[in-house]
Structure 1
């Protein structure tokens, strides 16, 4: 597959979104099921500000999406492509 410079830049930006352990933990957790910020804070032992900031970046990169449910936002993986990508990355990393 040949890429142009713009496509390569976008892919690098998405890959850079995975460059922090916190974002990988959030994406891995969202593989299981959608979650609110409060659930992610509790389960991942991170601050609310940190989780919210990482989710903002993941949403910007179209890796996560949020659906409002009353007073809460339920975060999930953006789509099946993201799910497959995260699963492949986790499987690849476990083969060390």
Structure 2
């Protein structure tokens, strides 16, 4: 049975999503947000990366629809847009770990 055709627009969107997930810091952010919603300073502390760099990566993830931000007082609490995206990252990390152990 032939595979269903995927529209060019869908392929472009998938490529943009994968590109947004391609940086190690962004992968780390997704893994952290999988556990719970976090604000920027929590990600800075956990990942050991500067605040401007975390904010830059969050902008990329937000524009790709990977994360959403909700204002909580003076801070913005970031969370994953959906669990499906976390599974993509977890599967990629698991695949990379398997490749290194062989």
Give the counterpart of 1:46 among 43, 49, 52. Answer: 49
Match of 1:12 among 11, 15, 23: 15
Unaligned runs of 5+ in 2: none
Moved more, 84-93 or 6-15: 84-93
From 25, 36, 52, the counterpart of 1:33: 36
Structural mapping, 1:16-95, within 5 Å: 16-95=19-98
| Secondary structure in structure 1 of the residue aligned to 2:15 | helix
The answer as to whether partners of 2:20 and 2:64 remain within 8 angstroms in 1 is yes
Counterparts of 1:2 and 1:54, CA distance in 2: 33
**d(CA) in 2 for partners of 1:69 and 1:43?**
20
Helix, strand or coil at the partner of 2:85: helix
- Please give the TM-score of this superposition, normalised by the length of structure 1: 0.91
Shift of 1:51: 0.3
* CA-based RMSD: 1.2
* TM-score between both structures, scaled by the size of structure 2: 0.86
Structure 1, unaligned runs of 5 or more? none
Q: Which has the larger radius of gyration?
A: 2
